[in-house]
Amino acid sequence: MVSTAKPKSSRSKEPQNEGDIKAFWDQQAFIHGGSDLATNPDQHYRVLEIDSILRVISAMNPETILDVGCGNGHATLQIAKKFPEVMVTGVDFSEKMIAQAKRRIIPNVDYFEGDVLSLSRNKHIVDQKYDVVLSSRCLINLANWEEQKVGILEMRKMTAVNGHLILVENVQDGLDNLNNLREKIGLEPIKAPWHNKYLPQSDLTKFLTEIQGNLLTTEYVENIGNYYYLTSRVLYAKICKDQGVEPDYNNPINAIAAKMPTLGEYYACSPNFMFVLKKEEAQWDTKKLSS
């Protein structure tokens, strides 16, 4: 998640291995418990993100949902409450996050431990398929685009045919657009946190185009909260800089900006994108069998 605080360096630490990233999330669970702050410090953005997720799920009518990288279940629980007829399952590789999530069980929600990179081999969900598979800011914790592609394909395996994969992830180009605006008024660029690798837009677009109509079809793309980012990370950030004060996520300007509608595709200056992908039956060329 993009911070409003002034970046200290290009990354606060060099990229870490998976053990370090898991240790980071375990620690977040330890520090913040069941609070939404465990998985995102910006509570205004979080409301916008969950609203977008609930809106697209409302249009799908699923019976089962798998929330991959569910953290302490903050969003999972809201999905389960909004859709009480739907069975919602959360999975996360941090046992500390899962322990927190399990403290707030309701009848249509359950949780288990698992890694997105080996989801289809997880003993808890062998042979299971879900109508909706969701990843909100899970893939950005993987080491590189190669792993992120594996994560997408693993989640595809868990999706029912004609079901949907919803990716809510940070994209580097959205952050670059935001930083272009910041640069124009003398603000330093915001850098991705050390434990995140934002998805590379060109590789992602190429990949989604290649598999379109075969493995996954892109049905909808949304740049979540771009008006909010414009206000909080550019206008408000500039006021703070000029006044020599640290930005506060909960200031009234951000609260107002979070109520404004999105700018749509006009200027994708939010790093956060939602991709709604439909799972297609894998096609294969039967003519090749006879040759």
Residues in region 12-41 near ligand SAM by CB under 6 A: 25, 39
Using rule CB under 6 A, residue 42 touches ligand SAM: no
Residue 70 binds ligand SAM, judged by CB under 6 A: yes
Q: Is 95 exposed, middle or buried (0-12, 13-18, 19+ CB in 10 A)?
A: middle
The residue (of 115 and 222) whose beta carbon lies closer to ligand SAM is: 115
69 binds ligand SAM (CB under 6 A): yes
Question: Binding string to ligand SAM for residues 83 to 102, with x set by CB under 6 A, is what?
Answer: ---------xxx--x-----
Pick from 47, 54, 117, 143: which binds ligand SAM (CB under 6 A)?
Answer: 117
Note whether 211 and 156 are within 8 A (CB): no
115 is an interface residue for ligand SAM by CB under 6 A: yes
Q: Using CB under 6 A, which of the segments 66-74, 177-185, 197-205, 238-246 binds ligand SAM?
A: 66-74
Check binding of 45 to ligand SAM (CB under 6 A). no
Q: Which residues bind ligand SAM (CB under 6 A)?
A: 25, 39, 69-71, 74-75, 92-94, 97, 115-117, 136-138, 141
